[in-house]
Amino acid sequence: MIWQKEFNGSYYEVRTAGHSIRLYRNSVFHSQYNSQRMLNGGVWDMLWIPLCFLPPQRIRRVLMLGVGAGAALKKISDFFPDAEITGVELDSNHLLVAKRFVGLSGPSIQLIKADALDWVQTSETPRYDVIIDDLFNEVDGEPYRIINFSNRWLRLLRQRLSANGLLIANCVKMAEAKRLIQRYRSNSSLAGGNSGKRGFNHGYVLQQQGFDNIIVAACQQPLSARELKRRFGLLQLPPAVKSPVNFPALLKLRKVA
């Protein structure tokens, strides 16, 4: 253990495991970042690898709702250095860990302490090419989504996303993941504004052995698992990472739309 803190009834710990930095809150494993390896492991890779569905030149602005310790965002800043990154997180201790222990800082990175729902409703930023929704909390050691995928929430996310942008969302169950895309496809009201778009027409789910998380990647334009794997293999390594790795064998992709 390299850091601990008790604040407002919650107990935080930062531990090391080899070259990995791990954040725990109330004994729940929240984040893992490894600066020496291309991959963090588990859900913290499933949240950033889907960016490879898009050509790198289309990834200019990235928004993450629910930063945690910043493991996924740090990999995005490592592998997509030209992207402007915004992270919104309510827990100030998570942001402290992200900056101090994970090294999530720089001129292209903006970390904001705010309630995600309030911020999405009221901020006046340009649209984002990628939005990552990882809004979770825990009760009695069990994680749960803070904001359900209601029509209202999905409409707000869609309004923040560029026309051919990518939504990456952490879901609890497969039914929830499929319903997210199906609801978009069947409900024109989710497009919002005057765009006339019907939401997302294409999507994949990502799962990894040993993790319950189900990650959805959804977009207006067709997505290709072959292109995702090809672009993953072309990523330029940051200086701290000495050797590339193959696409993780335990990460399974399933096309759902």
**Can you give the pLDDT of all 257 residues of the chain as single tens digits?**
999 999 999 999 999 999 999 999 988 888 999 999 999 998 999 999 999 999 999 999 999 999 999 999 999 999 999 999 999 999 999 999 999 999 999 999 999 999 999 999 999 999 999 999 999 887 777 778 899 888 889 889 999 999 999 999 999 888 788 777 765 555 555 555 444 444 578 999 999 988 888 999 999 899 999 999 999 999 999 999 988 899 999 899 999 87
DSSP symbol at 143: E
Half-sphere exposure of 14 (CA within 13 A, CB side): 21
Predicted TM-score (pTM) of the model is 0.93
Cβ neighbours of 70 (radius 10 Å): 31
Q: Could you give the maximum distance between any two Cα atoms of the chain, in Å?
A: 52
Amino acid at 181: I
- All domains of the chain, ordered by start, with CATH? 38-255 (3.40.50.150)
Q: How far apart are CA 208 and CA 215, in angstroms?
A: 10
Residue with tokens 């409900």: 187
